[in-house]
Structure 1
Amino acid sequence: MFNVARVLTLSFLALAMFIYPQEVLSSAAEGLTLWWRFVLPALLPFFILSELLMTSGFVHFLGVLLESFMRPVFRLPGKAAFVVAMGYTSGFPMGAVLTARLRNDGEITREEGERLLAFTNNPSPGFMFGAVASGMLGKPSLGILLAGSVYLANLIVGFLFRFYRVTSVSQQSSSFPSFRRAWQEMKNAQNRDRRTFGQVLGDAIKQSTNTVLMVAGFMAFFAVILRLLNLWHITFLLASLSHHIIQIIPVSVFQALFNGIFEMTLGCQEAIQALFLLDQQVALLALLMGWGGLSVFAQVAGLISGTDLRFSSFLIARTLHAIIALGLSQVFLMIAKVPTSNQLVQISETPVFFWNTWHLSSLVFMGCLSILAVLALVRVRHS
């Protein structure tokens, strides 16, 4: 029955693409434009860098030093700290890529992989600061508030997931962290990989390019689906039905919400157009960025399909992340005392260039590595 429904759905989708060729072309082009401007510069360099760091044994080095920190806080091995740093730096779907890699290499268990997958997927800092705060809202200063809400909410989700599928057998590290042991682990990892640096670099570029091209395909495909849903007024009908149930929320807000559930970027754009009060705009933006969109869900599902990781944990985590990010955004607005009443925010047409995305991602990356280095030094000093 499921296979028949899938065939009928795909056949109907193919027919719709033949009926609306111009809309399919323009929506796919819009999705690829977003990929070219924001995703490619934010992801590809860090994909390559992460592959090189993993093959160099840096993950094993970091794992020894941060084992005694990651276990009590997140119930994860020290190697997971590298995934956290890269996931918070580069945005979707870096966390899923590296989690799947660690699981396939046998570095983490199934439950640890699902815990790690739950809180290492965020929008990129370039998207939050550049595309949303500066480009859509026209208020670059709100980038800190939005990013803080999203990042802190995800850390809270990670702490909550330490209670996810806890086994009776504790896997706490039995030895104290030391630079000597960490260095030896890194050397052992390097000795196990017999490839030359040229081979390692070539494989890293090849694999990273394939992954980022897969992301482009997902973005273009879901942009087409969302355009067709809007042409058939399906999202408008869902919004109207929701408005009849909760009449205090306008139809336009529900439509922005449903569009954001499918694709985050379009939902963020419509959220700003549908709402006039800044606190409401920030609330819906934080909710949508915490959720991520079904396009991201499909990317993550595709990346972990070669592992035994369950997708249900990721779905639960995204729901929690969206709700917590919304709440934190309102708390931060009150603390920052940003005016929110009777404030009409215009959308800026200022383009966001490659430098903005790369610069912000680099700053976040260096900040994450600095925090990890400080934590490692503190753990070694107190051992």
Structure 2
Amino acid sequence: MKNSRLLRSVLPGIIVLSFILSIAIFPHESIESARVGMNICTNILIPSLLPFLIGANLLINLKIIDIMGVFLEKPSRILFNVPGKSSLIFVISILSGYPIGSKLTSNLRQNNEISKIEAQRLASFCSTSGPLFMVGSVGIGMFNNSKIGYFILLCHYIGALSVGMLFRFYNTSSDINHCNNNMSILTRLKKIIFYEKEEKGFYSIFGDSVRNGINTILVVCGFVIVFSVLFKILTLLKFINFISSILFVLLRPFDISIEIIQAFISGLFEITIGCNNVSLVSGPSLIFKISLCTFIISFSGISILAQCCNFLSHSDINIPIYIFSKFLHGINSFLFCYILYPIFKNSLDIQTFNNSIYYDIYVDKIFNNMPFNNNLFFAFILIVYILSYANDRYSKSSKKSLF
């Protein structure tokens, strides 16, 4: 026990000291990489994230999310076993991207508006990338195809929803009976609108929202700059190459090139660099590269994980479980790319499977021989199945709680 505590207290200091010494050894490269991180902040993050941060804080403080959450309470409980306002957090996360979903989830928990278990469930799926990055940066900028960007976006969001549905069963034994569900919608709306915790005017709320948003964006930019320098130093020290070589030996039976492994490892640190490196590798099939990029975006990389964990750490949300949910998000999104490929292959114009085992077994033998091989029908049946299964499990859990 004492050794583990000593390790936890000493190891971070050793890592930070090594980082500072590395900056002193590679000053020019460190300054250039910091400049790159600064450019990302000023040209991308501040213009795109700051308005959403201010707007999201306003929605929370003006109780707009609480009001809309009243109407979304039942579907949110059935699908994700979280309060109705959580659906709005998910929408804001989709529109804005990392790390706003985690920030808002932490705010709800800090204000004691949701329970610890509900916050854990909410954090599992309300941490997503934004459409501008997936469609604009990855789809158009890296693959020169906006349709690929939309395909990545679809698999990414379906993967997030699937994780949320899985986490609805997380620690159900601690769930309590939600008395608000017995109230009418009108009664709950009156309670939200006319119950004021603090007497604050709009301009005071607006000022607090701007201040909160600026503080958050400064923290995010600090993480981006630090991890930009860290990744550059690890590259110069050949650490990325070392890890890639180990994985190359382990994955040799799967005929995966070391170039794609190096690109993937870089994405585990920073998603923009990783996705760009994966898109530039020649050799692997295009759908494999798309799936890897989708995993990288969904897992979010160490840089974004550190940002999200920083916000979540201000509450009692379990960080290791959150990281596991992001890994699960990456796996699910990766699999959905392969599962949904036969539906969208014609619109994507991806012809890379003609001689592959995947194409022969899944696309040719299974998918094309389905009795109802219609894209819309297949998607409709899938959605109905998921909703009916979730509703069935919710009904069973409700009956158990009554007895």
If the TM-score is normalised by the length of the shorter chain, which range does it land in?
0.7 to 0.9
Say if 2:313 and 2:319, in contact at 8 Å, map to a contact too: no
Secondary structure of the corresponding residue to residue 172 of structure 2: coil
What amino acid sits opposite 1:284 in the alignment? L
CA offsets 1:66-111 (integer angstroms, 9 cap, x no match): 2111112111011212211111111111111111110011110111
Match of 2:169 in 1: 163
1:243 maps to 2:254: no
What amino acid sits opposite 1:305 in the alignment? S
1:20 maps to 2:26: yes
Task: Give the deviation of 1:140 after TM superposition.
Answer: 1.1
Question: Structure 2 CA distance, aligned partners of 1:36 and 1:210?
Answer: 15
Match of 1:273 in 2: 280
Match of 2:44 in 1: 38
Task: Give the deviation of 1:170 after TM superposition.
Answer: 4.2
1:233 maps to 2:238: yes
Match of 2:352 in 1: 341
Question: Structure 2 CA distance, aligned partners of 1:102 and 1:174?
Answer: 19
Secondary structure of the corresponding residue to residue 195 of structure 1: coil
Question: Structure 2 CA distance, aligned partners of 1:64 and 1:225?
Answer: 45
Match of 1:206 in 2: 211
For structure 1, the 5+ residue unaligned runs are 344-383
- Note closer, same or farther for the CA distance 1:196–1:226 as it changes in structure 2 (3 Å cut): same
- Note closer, same or farther for the CA distance 1:285–1:126 as it changes in structure 2 (3 Å cut): same
- Note closer, same or farther for the CA distance 1:82–1:193 as it changes in structure 2 (3 Å cut): farther
1:283 maps to 2:291: yes
Match of 2:106 in 1: 100
1:253 maps to 2:253: no
Say if 1:67 and 1:177, in contact at 8 Å, map to a contact too: no
Say if 1:119 and 1:158, in contact at 8 Å, map to a contact too: yes
Secondary structure of the corresponding residue to residue 114 of structure 2: coil
What amino acid sits opposite 2:225 in the alignment? A
User: What is the aligned residue count?
Assistant: 341
CA offsets 1:101-151 (integer angstroms, 9 cap, x no match): 100111101111011001011111110011100111111121210100000
Question: Structure 2 CA distance, aligned partners of 1:72 and 1:177?
Answer: 18
Question: Structure 2 CA distance, aligned partners of 1:330 and 1:292?
Answer: 20
Say if 1:62 and 1:182, in contact at 8 Å, map to a contact too: no
- Note closer, same or farther for the CA distance 1:302–1:169 as it changes in structure 2 (3 Å cut): closer
Task: Give the deviation of 1:332 after TM superposition.
Answer: 2.6
Task: Give the deviation of 1:280 after TM superposition.
Answer: 1.6
Equivalent runs, 1:174-213 vs 2, <5 Å: 174-175=181-182, 178=185, 180-189=186-195, 191-213=196-218
Match of 1:365 in 2: none
Question: Structure 2 CA distance, aligned partners of 1:142 and 1:282?
Answer: 8
1:82 maps to 2:88: yes
Secondary structure of the corresponding residue to residue 341 of structure 1: coil
Say if 1:91 and 1:123, in contact at 8 Å, map to a contact too: yes
What amino acid sits opposite 2:331 in the alignment? I
Which deviates more from structure 2 when the two are superposed, residues 316-325 or residues 165-174?
Answer: 165-174
Say if 1:56 and 1:186, in contact at 8 Å, map to a contact too: no
Question: Structure 1 CA distance, aligned partners of 2:35 and 2:261?
Answer: 26
TM normalised by structure 2 equals 0.81
Match of 2:15 in 1: 9
Match of 1:69 among 65, 68, 75: 75
Match of 1:110 in 2: 116
Task: Give the deviation of 1:235 after TM superposition.
Answer: 0.7
1:264 maps to 2:287: no
Match of 1:379 in 2: none
Secondary structure of the corresponding residue to residue 77 of structure 1: coil
For structure 2, the 5+ residue unaligned runs are 1-5, 355-403
Say if 1:65 and 1:182, in contact at 8 Å, map to a contact too: no
Secondary structure of the corresponding residue to residue 167 of structure 1: helix
Match of 2:130 in 1: 124
